[in-house]
Structure 1
Amino acid sequence: MTNPNTQENPQEDQHGQPLIAHLTELRDRLLRSVLIILVVFVGLYSWSNELYLFVSEPLRRFLPEGTSMIATGVASPFLTPFKLTLMSAIFLSVPFILHQAWSFIAPGLYKHEKKFAVPLLVSSVLLFYSGMAFAYYAVFPIIFGFFTSIGPEGVAMMTDINQYLDFVLKLFFAFGVAFEIPIATFLIIAAGLSDVKSIGEKRPYVIVGCFTVGMLITPPDVISQTLLAVPMWLLFEVGLLFGRLVDKPEDTSNQEA
């Protein structure tokens, strides 16, 4: 007689091996992503101080004559550029990381899903970088020009380098994510969770939500709040526009008498 336990082992191997293979592939792709981040970090580290000077330029140009940024922590002159270089390496590695994610999930997608996946991945990366560029070149000069001009007379503005970095990184991330709104809107419509007409009817709530998010994320002033809220609303409209390409008409068969 054959042992029943020996008959179960081939089945367990047959079903367990694909799972092990997927986990192994996931581990390999995560390791590749970490490796590329480290490679970019090592390549950027020699210019870490220059990188910080570039990021701090929007504030330094508005500092009063005779003042400068300061470091209140003993290790801040080393740790702050180090942190900025690491975050820059992560941001610059996003296309490669998304490529690894795409390579991992692509075999499980249908052909019509693959048709939209690559353009969505490319556009999401470009939109994220566009949001960061918009924050640096359009928002930062207005915000820092406003803050440095309203200080009480006799108070010298000398910003800590670490606090400044935390502030701008939060804004970089906020504007980068905000510029992903067209992708999110398109995916909601493509997945059939809603349609263009239904989402368009909620436009007043979306506008209020954009200004609410702008109020919570940006500094407490109307200028920076508007500079985030208005692009968010316009990007929402762009998402609706492209959503018409995949909008599924409502099924009217149930409405027949």
Structure 2
Amino acid sequence: MSEDIEEKRMPLLDHLVELRTRLIYSFAAFLIAFFACYAVSEQIFSILVAPLAELTEGEAGRRMIYTALHEAFFTYLKVAFFAAACVAFPVISVQIWQFIAPGLYKDEKAAFLPFLIATPCLFALGAAMVYFLVIPLAWQFFLGFEHPGTDGSLPLVLEPKVDQYLSLVMRLIFAFGVCFELPVLMILLAKVGIVTSKGLASKRKYAILIAFVVAAILTPPDVISQVLLAIPVAILYEISIIGARIIEKKRGYEPDNFDDDEDEDETSSSTAT
């Protein structure tokens, strides 16, 4: 046991000092990233607006508006905040790892590190799906409600507000990014024995139903974005089942066999009695 322990246990005060140091480094990294991102916040916002600009390219009179004096300023602050969180996340994750790693055994480090790496990768995959697939389709759907105002009726033209546009985009990115973390959560639960592949498979139909309900809550009220979120979540749930089965095979037992062995042990003990 002593060979697996790489470092001695630190007193509580040393842990608090170490935690303070890691928090300072994380906050400093976020602060530097925030000011750097605010310097280019207008360009970042232009990138977020690019899908809408491409759909309306060549149409005269297209614009985005803000109706409060401070609205554009706070919009750029939000852009800088979200961008800084993404840029500083690798530094923050390293600080988290350096804080908890000394208290882990070698096998625990080997088990935890892949999840720490997979978390930002899956979030980035969800954000990329939003930007390149969901947003163009959803924006095209919403633009379909415009009409030129023939037969004496007033024209219906889209003039999005900058803060509402940013809020909608950030909500989509956050929703898809968090939902794409499903395999990480489920495999972690399977690794500690809270869930099993058999249990996950038996709850498949409920998981699919919950996926569509969550998609209806988190996404805009259009069928396209809801389906584009619910289907990947259902696929990721199946991947979670496969990952749980792999973990169970590495442990050397199957859930069905494990239950049968318990029944046999109970039968043999009662017979012996």
Which range moves more in the overlay, 22-31 or 237-246?
A: 237-246
Match of 2:6?
Answer: none
- Among residues 35, 38, 42, which one is paired with 2:35 in the alignment? 42
Partner of residue 188, structure 1:
189
The answer to whether the 8 A contact 1:214-1:225 is kept is: yes
| Deviation readout 1:3-49 (Å, 9 max, x if unpaired) | xxxxxxxxxxxxxx811111111111111111111112222222111
Distance 2:43 2:107 in 1: 46
Contact 2:38 2:79 in 1 (8 A): no
* CA displacement, residues 206-227 of structure 1 (integer Å, 9 cap, x when unaligned): 1101101000000111111001
Corresponding residue to 1:145 among 130, 140, 147: 140
Give CA-to-partner distance per residue, 1:43-97, whole Å, 9 cap, x none. Answer: 2222111111001112233345312111111022222112201210111211221
TM-score (norm 1): 0.89
DSSP-derived class of the 1:246 partner: helix
Q: 1:24 aligns with which of 1, 17, 23?
A: 17
Matched residue, 2:203? 202
Q: Which residue of 1 aligns with 2:232?
A: 231
Matched residue of 2:27: which SS?
Answer: helix
| One-letter amino acid of the structure 1 residue matched with residue 91 of structure 2 | F
> What TM-score comes out, normalization by structure 2 length?
0.84
Q: Is 1:135 aligned to residue 130 of structure 2?
A: yes
Q: Once the 2 structures are TM-superposed, how far is the Cα of residue 113 of structure 1 from its aligned partner?
A: 1.8
Q: Alignment identity in percent? A: 37
Task: Please identify, of 145-154 and 68-77, the stretch whose mean Cα deviation from structure 2 is larger.
Answer: 145-154
1:251, CA displacement in angstroms?
A: 5.2
Which residue number corresponds to residue 254 of structure 1? 262
CA distance in 1, matches of 2:125, 2:49: 19
1:137 to partner: Cα distance: 0.7
The structure 1 residue matched to 2:102, chosen from 104, 107, 130, is 107
**Could you tell me which residue of structure 2 aligns to residue 124 of structure 1?**
119
Where does the alignment leave 5 or more consecutive residues of structure 1 unmatched? 1-16
Residue identity matched to 2:70 = A
Partner of 2:173: 172
1:59 aligned to 2:59?
Answer: no
**Residue 228 of structure 1 aligns to which amino acid in structure 2?**
L
SS in structure 1 of the partner of residue 62 of structure 2: coil
Shift of 1:160: 0.4
Q: How does 1:151-166 map to 2 (within 5 A)?
A: 151-153=146-148, 154-166=155-167
Point out 4+ residue stretches in structure 1 off by more than 6 angstroms: none
Deviation at 1:152, TM superposition (A): 4.6
Post-superposition Cα deviations, 1:148-203, rounded to whole Å, max 9, x if no partner, equal: 11235411210000111111111111111011011111111111012111111111
Aligned residues: 241
8 Å CA contact 1:60–1:68 kept in 2: the answer is: no
Q: What is the root-mean-square deviation in Å for CA atoms of aligned residues?
A: 1.6
Q: Give the deviation of 1:254 after TM superposition.
A: 2.9
